[in-house]
Amino acid sequence: MATNNVWNEHRTRIAGGWKCVSYEMFDNSGPERTLIAKPHGENPLGRVSISRNGWLAAHLARPERMHKLRSGKPWQTAADKEVAYVARGLSMYCGHLKLCQAEEGGLYWPTLVEISTDPNRMGGIEERKVTLLEEDGKSYMVLEPKQDVLLDELTKLEDGTPTRAVLKWEKFE
């Protein structure tokens, strides 16, 4: 539960461009975190842009799916199967965020999703726990979605274990 909107206090640290440097899935069924998978490999492909007024645009793609289509056709005229292979490797959404201070400490942001590659997310809230770090003169942001994800095709394990995604972003702009 939010105690207040603290965007203005942190705006200069958060606004800008961010590059995903790690995307890890952890077992969230117990008190100890165990790394289960890196669904986007060692070099995830993701960017987040955040305006000074809190407009967020997030793009995440599975690197192994980001090639020219085998048919050589444009996206709009390629076969559905070919497009689906790429599209299912994409996760994108945008909307305005609020930065909140949690009662127990720490930051989180709810984003009202206006547009998304998954229409089921449109009009909903995407909430992330936010941790801001400075390491070796670089700015990082660690985001953890509030909701767990069940293991699936993405992690190559299908046992229904609740997992938590942890994404680390490096500020580049």
Instruction: Please give the C-alpha separations between residue 39 and each of 26, 45, 59, 156, 166, in angstroms, as whole numbers.
Output: 11, 11, 15, 9, 11
Q: Sort 119 into a burial class: Cβ within 10 Å, 0-12 / 13-18 / 19+.
A: exposed
Quick one: how far is CA 85 from the chain centroid? 20
Q: Which pLDDT score, from 0 to 100, does residue 158 have?
A: 58
Which stretches in the chain have pLDDT values below 50? 1-2
* Cα distance between residue 153 and residue 157, in whole Å: 7
Say what the pLDDT of residue 152 is: 58
Given this model, what pLDDT does residue 150 score?
A: 62
pLDDT at 160 (0 to 100): 67
Neighbours of 35 (CB within 10 A): 11
What was the pLDDT predicted at 27? 85
Backbone angles phi, psi at 27, to 5 degrees: -65, 125
DSSP-derived secondary structure for 83-114: HHHHHTTEEEEEEEE--EEETTSSEEEEEEEE
- How does pLDDT run across 123-163, given as a tens digit for each residue? 999 999 999 999 999 999 999 998 777 655 555 555 667 78
The length of the chain in residues reads 173
**Domains along the chain?**
2-171 (2.40.128)
> Which pTM was predicted?
0.89
